[in-house]
Amino acid sequence: MFEYHIVLSLHVKKLFYFYTMSLSIIYEDDVLLVCNKPAGLMVEPDRNNFPNLLQVVRSYLKEMTGEKSPYVQHLHRLDRPTSGIVLFTKKKECLRNLSEQFAQRQVSKYYMALTSNAPANRLGVLEDWHRKEKKKAVLVSEGTAFAEKAKLEYAIMPYENYFLWNIQLHTGKYHQIRAQLANLGCSILGDSLYGSKEIFHLNAIALHAAKLIIQHPVTQQQITFEADCNFKL
pLDDT for residue 29:
97
Q: Are the C-beta atoms of residues 1 and 36 closer than 8 Å to each other?
A: yes
As a whole number of angstroms, the distance between CA 221 and CA 215 comes to 5
pLDDT at site 33: 98
pTM, to two decimals:
0.91
Query: Which DSSP category does 187 fall into?
Result: P
Strand partners of residue 28: 33
* 2-106 shares its CATH topology with 110-208: yes
pLDDT confidence of residue 62: 93
Q: Is 200 exposed, middle or buried (0-12, 13-18, 19+ CB in 10 A)?
A: buried
d(CA 183, CA 187): 8
Q: What are phi and psi of 168, to 5 degrees?
A: -105, 120
> In the Cβ-directed half-sphere of 31, how many Cα atoms lie within 13 Å?
14
Cα–Cα distance between 205 and 113 in angstroms, integer? 9
Q: What residue segments make up the domains of the chain, in order of their start? A: 2-106, 110-208
- Classified as helix, coil or strand, 200 is coil
Residue range 110-208 forms a domain whose CATH class is alpha beta
CA distance 187 to 206: 10
CA distance 57 to 55: 6
Domain 2-106: what homologous superfamily? Pseudouridine synthase (3.30.2350.10)
Q: Give the pairing of strands 148-159 and 207-215.
A: unpaired
Q: What is the rounded CA–CA span in Å between residue 27 and residue 136? A: 32
Give every CB contact of residue 115 below 8 A, 6+ residues apart in sequence.
162, 163, 165, 181, 186, 187, 188, 189, 206
pLDDT score, position 117: 96
* Mean pLDDT per 10-residue interval, the chain, length 233 residues: 56 48 90 96 85 91 94 97 97 98 97 97 98 95 96 97 97 97 98 96 96 98 94 76
